[in-house]
Amino acid sequence: MRMYHYTSTANWQRMNDDNPSENFLNPQTGRIVSGSAGRGLWPRRPLVPPPISGLPAEAYVAWSFGLEEEQPKKWTENSRFPNVWHNLLNYAAHGDGSLTLLEVTLLADDQPQVIDWAHIEQLPTHLALTVAEQHAYHRYWESRIALPCYDGSHDLPEIIVQKPIPLERIKKAWDRRLSGKIVW
């Protein structure tokens, strides 16, 4: 199984370096791991932000995110969400305009799942926590499907992984600079 993970070039460098000043939470053990032992792709962002309530604890811990393909049409040519691809790449580049695509080999033991970002993408970004946002995050959480069982039914499918992926299973596909309009 493969996952494509977009990140900034600086973040890719950090994945390769020993980072003794940075610590990671190992989701399997619940222990803090020194950055010098944390080479690779480590879960960094919770699936659901803490103000959203009523979900299992697993929803609030860090995950890694990726896509099934380098340029999935559901993201690049989505008429319902025409800016989603541009927004994703700009988010991944972290504002500095450098972008690195990683090809990640997933194992069954990684327990990868597919989740539908469309539930969140449809929300207005300017609202405070609302009932609609609560429901959207609940639907997002409930849309999880094990990757081997995924049938292509999600509008904006993301692969999510809670386990750290060692550097040995990550290959850099390319580096690029983003300009105002993303052209492939």
Strand, coil or helix: 176: strand
pLDDT at res. 177: 87
pLDDT at position 14 is 85
Q: What distance in Å separates the CA atoms of residue 58 and residue 83, rounded to the nearest whole number?
A: 29
Integer Cα distance of 69 and 87 in angstroms? 17
Whole-model pTM over 0.85? yes
Positions in the chain short of pLDDT 50: 182-184
Half-sphere exposure at residue 148, Cβ-oriented, CA atoms within 13 angstroms: 6
At residue 103, φ and ψ (nearest 5 deg) are -105, 120
